[in-house]
Amino acid sequence: MLVSRAVSELPGVGGAMTAMGTGLNLEMLGRMGFEVPADAGPGDLVVAIRADGEEALGAAREALDGLLSEANRVPAGAGPLAPPRPRTTASAAARGEATVALLSVPGPQVFPEAMDALDAGLNVMIFSDNVPLAQEIALKEAAARRGLIVMGPDCGTAVIGGAGLGFANAVRPGPVGVVAASGTGAQQLMCLLDAAGTGVSHVLGVGGRDLSPEVSGRSALAALAALDADPGTELIVLVSKPPAPQVADLIREAARRLETPVVFALPVPGEDDLTRAVEKALEALGRPVPEWPRWAAPDRPAAGVAGRALRGLFAGGTHRDEAEAIVRGALGWDLEARGHRFTDFGDDAYTRGRAHPMIDPALRLEALAGEAADTAVGVLLLDVVLGYGAEPDPAAALVPALRAALKDRSDLAAVVSLCGTPSDPQDRDRQAAALRDAGADVFASNAQAARRALSLVEGDSG
């Protein structure tokens, strides 16, 4: 997807896609107006480029060759006598002392690879989404029989012994273990803990469906037990997308039986938001609660913002859920009637055939321009998620879009929730300064950002 995006942005290129010939990708090619090769299959790499003339096409092909060659470059130090790369999960497991297999293949192909990993004695992190529910349950039952954990499917974030997997942040080690049925929820927790001078022992993602009625918390229960047995974990925080009530009750009952205290962070009305959950964890550990970082926008007129609509444009699903829960808790359940709307651009409906918005912001930037052009909108609320695997410089694309949105509208405000740490590759503080200078109020706490946006549409510009 990154190669496709890089080629698409070349001068004279009107569209490009480089992908395996799966059914979904071939369907995407057809919708993009390309003639789909009749004999293309899942084992084929399909390259499609639309260019303005032979010169642009030639330059695009040359750039593509370079990008693909770089992706396939032999690592430094691997000479001609280096053993061939393993071709199966089981053969890779037999080569070393790994304890975790990270799988990122199309969802329908995950099951046999995950079973191979479990049979080899490995815990499994499944980054892939679109895995059939019955297969998820079968994998988690198989893991339980072997005393292992399946993290996922759709597990985007984990930290194991200080090593970040997927979309993880650069955080300090510490005494807090996290069980996460939410990737961006886990990132918000670990970044706030880092801002408070406290770190994490492990972050065990379990997948967004784990606390559904069907899966019934199978991996969450296993992760709680594992962290309870870990001598380096003094307190556990469990974060989830809105769970099924009966599963939440089951998890709470299991937590009461542990020796390690558990704090819950569930983005639903009546529950602690993620920031308050971190504050409770710090208080339980006897550590001070800091003032959470905020970068206030330069003074600009806010006349006319009050009474207009709030539009949330999110890359993180739990950030979206938390913001909506905060606003619903204050205004009641008729948000849509007032024009308020919250969208998760990381949802499967928006990522079929394209990269997650934490990697490719194009779809969200397009929506931002559309919302800014709507004179009924008074506040734009966005999240920016930093860390390994995320876009290398989110502000580079977002700042011009914010400046354009705010330039001619004194009755429009922007609020940004910035999830990251100063040690992240993107440098949280540099990103925050750029977003602030573009006119946005920037908050390290997603909950505080949501409350700021709410206060603006309710008429409090202070």
Task: Encode pLDDT of 367-378 as tens digits.
Answer: 999 999 999 999
| C-alpha span between 53 and 88 (Å, rounded) | 42
- Beta strand 413-419 pairing with 294-295: unpaired
Checking if the pLDDT of 74 tops 90, the result is: no
Does the pLDDT of residue 275 top 90, yes or no?
yes
Q: What is the mean pLDDT of residues 433-447?
A: 97
pLDDT of 79: 56
Give pLDDT tens digits for 224-266: 999 999 999 999 999 998 899 999 999 999 999 999 999 999 8
**425 has a pLDDT exceeding 70:** yes
Please tell me whether residue 59 adopts helix, strand or coil conformation: helix
The mean pLDDT of 185-197, rounded to a whole number, is: 97
Residues 27-57: tens digit of each pLDDT:
778 877 888 888 888 778 889 999 898 998 9
Structure confidence at residue 350 (pLDDT)? 78
Indicate the pLDDT class of residue 73, thresholds 50, 70 and 90.
low
pLDDT of amino acid 158:
96
The pLDDT value recorded for residue 338 is 87
Averaged confidence pLDDT in the chain: 91
**What's the whole-number mean pLDDT along residues 103-110?**
88
pTM of the model: 0.86
Provide mean pLDDT across the span 7-14.
86
- Ordered by where they begin, the domains of the chain are 2-71 (no CATH), 92-284 (3.40.50.261), 294-457 (3.40.50.261)
Distance, C-alpha 406 to centroid of its chain: 27
Residues 6+ away with beta carbon under 8 Å from 3: 18, 64, 67, 68, 71
Q: Quick check: 45 and 31 in contact, CB under 8 A?
A: no
**Residues 12-21: pLDDT tens digits?**
888 888 888 8
Rounded to 10 degrees, the C-alpha dihedral 308/368/445/177 comes to 140
pLDDT at 353: 63
Q: Tally Cβ neighbours within 10 Å of residue 299.
A: 6
**pLDDT tens digits, one per residue of 201-216:** 999 999 999 999 999 9
Q: For residue 400, which of 442, 361, 438 has the smallest C-alpha distance?
A: 438
The owner of tokens 């573009």 is 438
Q: How far apart are CA 406 and CA 401, in angstroms?
A: 9
Q: For the chain, how far is it from start to end, CA to CA, in angstroms?
A: 42
Does 130 score more than 80 pLDDT? yes
Residue 313: phi, psi to the nearest 5?
A: -120, 100
What is the distance between the alpha carbons of residues 450 and 383, in angstroms, rounded to a whole number?
Answer: 10
